[in-house]
């Protein structure tokens, strides 16, 4: 599970083997976990919450969504490197 960013106590990461899905990032507290929160990245540079399986508080979710948006390019580049993708697929 490649870690992409660490923001405070949250780790943002990819699960390997999910390269068939549109670009997304998982977030959990301190380490990668199976029941992580998931954000889809959007083609316009934003993001959309897919689920909050890890139960991150709303205040933190808003901050994390902003961080995902601000790091959209970095996350997309890391996705291409991790999965060997030549092009990106978004949900929108």
Is pTM beyond 0.85? Reply is yes
Has residue 77 been placed in a domain? Answer: yes
Has residue 79 been placed in a domain? Answer: yes
Has residue 62 been placed in a domain? Answer: yes
**Each residue of 53-66: pLDDT tens digit?**
999 999 999 999 99
**What does R_g of the chain's alpha carbons equal in angstroms?**
12
Which has the closest alpha carbon to 10: 68, 64, 76?
64
**Each residue of 69-91: pLDDT tens digit?**
999 999 999 999 999 988 999 99
What's the whole-number mean pLDDT along residues 21-40?
96
Question: Are the CB atoms for 24 and 42 separated by under 8 Å?
Answer: no
Dihedral sign for Cα 1, 43, 47, 45, please: positive
Domain count, the chain: 1
- Is 80 exceeded by the pLDDT of residue 18? no
What's the whole-number mean pLDDT along residues 4-15?
96
Q: What is the DSSP letter of 22?
A: P
Per-residue DSSP letters for 51-92?
E-TT---HHHHHHHHHHHHHTHHHHHHHHHHHHT-SS-----
Has residue 91 been placed in a domain? Answer: no
**Residue 76: which domain range?**
3-83
**Each residue of 34-50: pLDDT tens digit?**
999 999 999 999 999 99
- Is 70 exceeded by the pLDDT of residue 19? no
């Amino acid at each position: 599970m490649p870690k992409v960013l660490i923001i405070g106590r949250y780790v943002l990461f990819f699960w390997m083997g999910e390269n068939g899905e549109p670009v997304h990032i998982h977030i959990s507290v301190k380490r990668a976990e199976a029941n992580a929160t998931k954000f889809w990245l959007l083609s316009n540079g934003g993001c959309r919450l897919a689920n909050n399986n890890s139960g991150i508080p709303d205040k933190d979710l808003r901050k994390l969504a902003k961080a995902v948006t601000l790091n959209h390019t970095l996350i997309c580049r890391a996705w291409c490197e991790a999965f060997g993708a030549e092009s990106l697929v978004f949900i929108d």
